[in-house]
Structure 1
Amino acid sequence: MKILGISLGTKNGNNDTMCRVALEEAKEMGCDIEFIHLFDWNIKPCTGCVACSRALVMGKGMVCSQKDDFAALYEKMTDSDGILVVDPIFESGGTGMFHNLMDRMGPGHDTGLMLGCQAKMMEQGKEPLPMKYFKQRAISFLGIGGSDWAVRTETDHAMLAMSTGWKVVDNDYFSWSKDVLMQDDKVARVKEIGRNLVEAAKDIAERNLMIMDPENDKLDYFKGHKGACPHCHGNNFYIHPDTNEAECELCGLKGELVMMDGALRLKFDPAILHHAHDILSGKALHGQDIFENEGRLMNLFKDETFKARKAHYTAVCEPTPSPSK
């Protein structure tokens, strides 16, 4: 059993320390542990070139135009049974580096697209993707902030697990936590997060649970605060203008926010559950959308009207070069 901790804070700062607190708990429970301070690694931002999604829908495997440490990091993550990500809170949400990680994990590592790619590769007689990429695993998140600006943190963080479909165990954040190491209740909570992660990872391993198993979407390992969305426990919603329709910003389910047992909850039609972004059925629908849109765009590249419009606007101005190059 291996638990991987990833910290995105300053070297040996609060995030590193709290990550190690949870890892120590995992070690005491008999797990192998590994710690990564992500700023020691070269993780470039996604350029939006869509090479990854095109390669998957065409059955060419996992491709990325960026040459950095992300592929090695993904191997570390998929060699682990449980993952803890600890991230500072910047302007109410996840850091820029976290968003780099989230974006790079996007289409190119979406298990729905990967399963489609796997089928195409096997049909073509190619060596398939490693099965460890389809193994279910547990993941937890912790945000640490110096004030009370934090309300997007949980949604930002959980987005990382959406592409992979990994099971979120805890998704928490601490406000007013510059001195978190001296706040015993918060240290105790981090230890609990470590224990919860190990217990979930062990159960998943004992079941030998894979992303595509029929029982996978029915299993819930969440141990954190129950959110207003009964499906993903999200608390951030988009209210569609001039309507009473609320859309969960995390799983995408739509419904109405109503009072239930003294608290607001998202009430949605169970018939739309298969559209949820974090389960395989929803991923399949999204994958089909990507496949159709990529095909439409590739055909547009051959269209003379499209090429003329593109050339016209490209000629309007040149980009200002970087002063440091």
Structure 2
Amino acid sequence: MPSVMLPKAALPTLKTPKGLIPTVQEPSKRDVIIFSDFDGTIFMQDTGHILFDHHGCGVTKRQELDEEIKTGARSFRAVSEDMWGSLNVRFEDGFEVMKEKLEIDPDFDEFHKYCISNGIPFNVISAGLKPILRRVLDVFIGETQSAHIEIVANDAKISPDGTEWKPIWRHDNELGHDKAASIQEYKTIASSESEDGSIPLIVFVGDGVSDLPAAREADVLFARRGLRLEEYCIENKISYIPFDTFADIQKDLVRLIQEDQESTKGAGKPAQYNPRANFWRRASSKKAVPTLGSIQASNTLSTGKKLHHTEPVFTPQPTLVS
């Protein structure tokens, strides 16, 4: 398995201890690498919005600021600085409301254990603040398991008394964190192929339009059902697989890995291959309960999923079939 060659300050090397969790599936020869959005994807709510609504500008003002982003009146970075700047709460106190209000995807914990046991790196790419995202993962899935997830996000300066919350942006532009630019940074220093010459399968999971710059570059795209990313894929004829929970993703991923093994024996290009995913390949080449406050039975979700496929917007585009 190839080693990771990433900027130490940006992406520490992923380490997956063997034997931590019993293997549930024979590993495929092909490397699989997963990149995922955080807010609205792993968690149902937006971590920042919860803080702003309860300890900052409030719901009404936050919605007004959100509208400025949607209409293009002001940049994401400028509006976000206003939102974070409105906070006046100690980090620990602010985290209490997140523990109460946040809901994690009910099947994410099991899915991530599946990734660990099968040597599949799982990486978070987010426009949020890394200290918050790391703390949320530490609490909801435990520090040991959280340590297996690499987070690429903005840093932050938070004063001890909570009077200052200042994002430290990854990029000096209107986005603050340009996900595509992050990948370009890694592109020049990491290998694009596995040591045996096979090409990793790149998977992206998301929910919103902001995920599109990254989602277009994946071999396989999972879009949360009923949200804007799915709508955008339909409108723009982009191939994707809808999901309700990460259990759906696990089921489809197992199927895709098996189909790839049967058709390629894990060698060369994956059966679902998108040449635009190459910069993701360069970025990385290594290999529950929904709330803390209550235990609620999950609703039974439909299991018979088909890929929603339309004519691709680039060539070649992976044709995913059930």
Same fold (TM over 0.5): no
Given the two structures, how large is their TM-score scaled by the length of structure 1? 0.30
Whichever structure has more helix as a proportion of its residues is: 1
Return the structure number with greater relative CO, CA threshold 8 A, min gap 6.
2
Given the two structures, how large is their TM-score scaled by the length of structure 2? 0.31
Find the structure with the greater CA-based Rg. Answer: 1
